[in-house]
Amino acid sequence: MSAKAGALYTNMRQFLQRDNDPLSMDSTHIDYKRVTFLTSAPSLRQCPDDSGCEIAFAGRSNAGKSSAINTLTRTRGLARTSKTPGRTQLINFFELAGGKRLVDLPGYGYAKVPIAMKREWDKHLAEYLQMRQSLAGLVLLMDIRHPLQEFDLQMLNWAAQAGLPVHILLTKSDKLKRGPAQSALLMVERHLRDMDPGCTLLSAQTFSSLKKQGLPELESVLGHWMSADFIDPSAD
C-alpha cells in the first residue's frame, strides 16, 4: 500500500468510528462562492504546487462536470460548459478560500476526438490521478440515464486500488422521474457495496445542476474530505 493510501486508510478508520451518514458528517464550513479561477494545465508538470488539498471532478464527456462546479460555487460561467462534448481539454484549477482547490478534469470516453489526442488526455489524466499528493477525493459524475459505463468502472477500480475516496454524482436527475432516479441510485449503490462492503470509500447520490438538487449532500461529503483530520497528514 502506498504512503498516500496508508494515510487515507488511517483516516477512514477514524472516520468509521463516527456516524458515516454523509449528511451528518463532521465537516469544515467552506464558502464555495469565494472561488477564483487559478490556472489551466495541459499536463501534470504544469499543475499548480502539489500542496494543501484539492478535489477533482471526473467523468465522461458531457456528464456535467463543469456545470456541477458552477452549481456548487454558485458562479455561472466559472467552468466552461458546452453542448459539444469534449469541451474541457485541460485540467482546470479553481481556488477556494484557505488554499483549497476544485479541479475540473477533461472528460473521458469521447469517441469523436482523434485517437492520438485521446491517448494524450488519458495519459495526463492517469498521471494526475496517480501522482497528485494533494488529491483528497474524486467526485465521479455519470449521467443518471447511463451510469457505470466501461470507463467509469475503470476509474472506480483504479480509485479503489489507490485508496482514494470517490463520491458518485448521478447527474441530470431532472431528466428522470423520482422512481426511476431512485432505482438508478439503488443499482449504483448495490454495485458500490459489492466493491467495498462497508461502503467506506465509495458513496453516491442523485444530482441536478438544472434544478439545484443534491447540493447539501455534495457539500457535506466535500466538507468532510477537506476537513483537517481527513487530509493526508504526510502532505505539506
Contact set with Mg ion (CB under 5 A): 65-66, 88
Q: Which stretch binds ligand GTP (CB under 6 A): 150-158, 182-190, 205-213, 226-234?
A: 205-213
* 208: three-class secondary structure by DSSP: strand
CB 135 within 8 A of CB 48: no
Q: Which residues pair with 141 in a beta bridge?
A: 59, 169
State the Cα–Cα distance between residues 94 and 32, nearest whole angstrom. 10
- Which of 118, 191 has the CB closer to Mg ion? 118
User: Of 11, 209, 220, 227, which one interacts with ligand GTP (CB under 6 A)?
Assistant: 209
Which residue has the CB atom at the shortest distance from ligand GTP? 107
For ligand GTP, the closer of residues 64 and 137 by Cβ is: 64
**Assigned C-alpha cell, 127:** 498521471
88 contributes a contact to ligand GTP by CB under 6 A:
yes
Residues 6 or more apart from 21 whose CB is under 8 A from it? none
Task: Please report how the helices 65-72 and 215-226 are oriented relative to each other, as an axis angle in degrees rounded to 10.
Answer: 80
Q: Is 163 in the site for ligand GTP (CB under 6 A)?
A: no
CB of 192 to Mg ion, least distance (A): 24
| Least CB distance to ligand GTP at residue 215 (A) | 11
If phi over 0 gives left and psi between -120 and 50 gives alpha, with beta otherwise, what is residue 232?
Answer: beta
The C-alpha cell at 60 is 465522461
Q: At its nearest, how many Å lie between ligand GTP and the CB of residue 69?
A: 8
Residue with cell 490556472: 39
CB burial class (10 A; 0-12, 13-18, 19+) of residue 126? middle
When CB distances are held under 5 to 8 angstroms depending on the partner's kind, the choice from Mg ion, ligand GTP, none that residue 132 binds is: none
Interacting partner of 86 out of ligand GTP, Mg ion, none (Cβ under 5 to 8 A depending on kind): ligand GTP
Size of the site for ligand GTP (CB under 6 A): 23
Q: Which residues here bind ligand GTP, judged by CB under 6 A?
A: 59, 61-67, 81-83, 85-88, 107, 171-172, 174-175, 208-210
